[in-house]
Amino acid sequence: MRKFRSNWSQGDRERYQERSDSYRERAGTSYLSRERWTHQEVVTSPLPKPVATSSLMASSVDFKTYVDQACRAAEEFVNIYYETMDKRRRALTRLYLDKATLIWNGNVVSGLDALNNFFDALPSSEFQVNMLDCQPVHEQATQSQTTVLVVTSGTVKFDGNKQHYFNQNFLLTAQSTPNNTVWKIASDCFRFQDWAST
Amino acid sequence: MGDKPIWEQIGSSFIQHYYQLFDNDRIQLGAIYIDASCLTWEGQQFQGNAAIVEKLSSLPFQKIQHSITAQDHQPTPDSCIISMVVGQLKADEDPIMGFHQMFLLKNINDAWVCTNDMFRLALHNFG
């Protein structure tokens, strides 16, 4: 099993360790100010665009920087999201666009009113995120706003239920002003992984 | 009872096509990616059709079979489609493993291509 795993993802264990250590570190020392946290928005400094927009592909150095900065914003967002879900559930829908849609274990929940009702009825939660991947969506794919895709996985225990492994993906869009960027969820998809791990 | 929404039809068609290609002749996956596509495979980033196909072709197994447990599709504000897949796979004679994968699909010149792809195995024990 170990050999097979290393065939699939060379060096992944180190990368995972690095990634998850840095993710957890960041979770403890978020640079978002207390004021922003209280206002329940995820605000970052403006996200620069990649330089070479005339060709389909930005130069690899600029692209990497762009990816890193987008992913840092995404990680901050994810941190805030799960903490809000667990500890300030009533503020959670402020992280969604008005027309955002969530698919929760196959059930479609669309728009803020429905989202409010849904999260209100959901039992209290304890999330543990173990993995996070993100990608900026290239300018060619979205014509307007900066968009980032995030995939998370980990475990969650809802009050009154057994613990589950989960996967979740988010489409985050950035609403930019000259001074800052406010991130919100446009699409959200959540599923339990139902099989037992060995 | 109405038909499924169009994004579900397109998304599930794509998913079926993708895993069929992957399981039978993954070099052909080149047709679904473009120069601007990004793949994150178990944490590694690849950009562009060529790099992606090279990574997928070089994966070290002869036989591979995917089985989809669940799939979800949503339209995005920009008329793209985001698809999430949860399932299991078996490579060569190795034990069955869980996986999840996410695709962002865009319509370019009447064809649906994949601009973003993120794949992870469901590995819970890193011991």
**Tens of pLDDT, residues B38-74:** 999 999 999 999 999 999 999 999 999 999 999 999 9
B14: its two tokens: 């794509």
Q: Which of B76, B94, B95 sits opposite A171 (nearest CB)?
A: B76
Find, among A67, A68, A71, A91, the residue nearest to A81 by Cα.
A91
What is the Cα–Cα distance from B53 to B32, expressed in whole angstroms? 10
Q: What is the pLDDT of residue A13?
A: 45
Q: What is the pLDDT of residue A179?
A: 81
Q: What is the pLDDT of residue A35?
A: 34
Q: Which of A1, A171, A193 sits opposite B122 (nearest CB)?
A: A193
Q: Is residue B1's pLDDT more than 60?
A: no
Contact yes or no for B88 and A173 at CB 8 A: no
Contact yes or no for B86 and A193 at CB 8 A: yes
Contact yes or no for B43 and A19 at CB 8 A: yes
Q: What is the pLDDT of residue A6?
A: 44
Q: What is the pLDDT of residue A10?
A: 43
Domain locations in chain A?
63-192
- Which of B35, B38, B62 to mutate: most A Cβ within 10 Å? B38
Percent of chain B clearing pLDDT 90 (strictly above): 88
Distance of CA B47 to the CA centre of its chain: 15
Q: What is the mean pLDDT of residues B99-120?
A: 95
Residues in A closer than 8 angstroms to B98, CB to CB, are 193, 195, 197
- Which of A1, A17, A64, A151 to mutate: most B Cβ within 10 Å? A151
B58 touching A (Cβ < 8 Å):
no
When the candidates are 3.40.50.300, 3.40.50.2000, 3.10.450.50, 3.30.465.10, the CATH number that belongs to A63-192 is 3.10.450.50
B93 touching A (Cβ < 8 Å):
no
Which pLDDT tens digits describe chain A residue by residue (198 residues)? 344 444 454 444 444 444 444 444 443 333 333 333 444 577 776 665 544 443 444 455 566 777 788 788 889 999 999 999 999 999 999 999 999 999 999 999 999 999 999 999 999 999 999 999 999 886 544 445 678 999 999 999 999 999 999 999 999 988 777 788 789 999 999 999 874 333
User: What mean pLDDT, rounded, does chain B reach?
Assistant: 92
Q: What angle do CA A33, A38, A42 make, to 5 degrees?
A: 65
Q: Is residue B3's pLDDT more than 90?
A: no
Could you write out the DSSP letters of every residue in B49-118? HHHHHHHHHTSS-S-EEEEEEEEEEEE-TTS-EEEEEEEEEEETTSPPEEEEEEEEEEEETTEEEEEEEE
Which residue is it, tokens 């130069």?
Answer: A59
- Predicted complex ipTM exceeds 0.95: no
Q: Which of B43, B47, B59 sits opposite A63 (nearest CB)?
A: B47
Residues 70-99 of A with CB under 8 A from B: 99
Residues in B closer than 8 angstroms to A12, CB to CB, are 42-44
Find, among B118, B121, B120, B61, the residue nearest to B91 by Cα.
B61
What is this structure's pTM?
0.80
Residue type, B106: K
Handedness of CA A108, A112, A116, A122 (dihedral sign): positive
What is the Cα–Cα distance from A2 to B76, expressed in whole angstroms? 38
Q: How many CB atoms neighbour CB B10 within 10 A?
A: 18
Q: What is the pLDDT of residue B77?
A: 83
Helix (H, G, I), strand (E, B), or coil: what is residue A67?
A: helix
Q: What is the pLDDT of residue A26?
A: 40
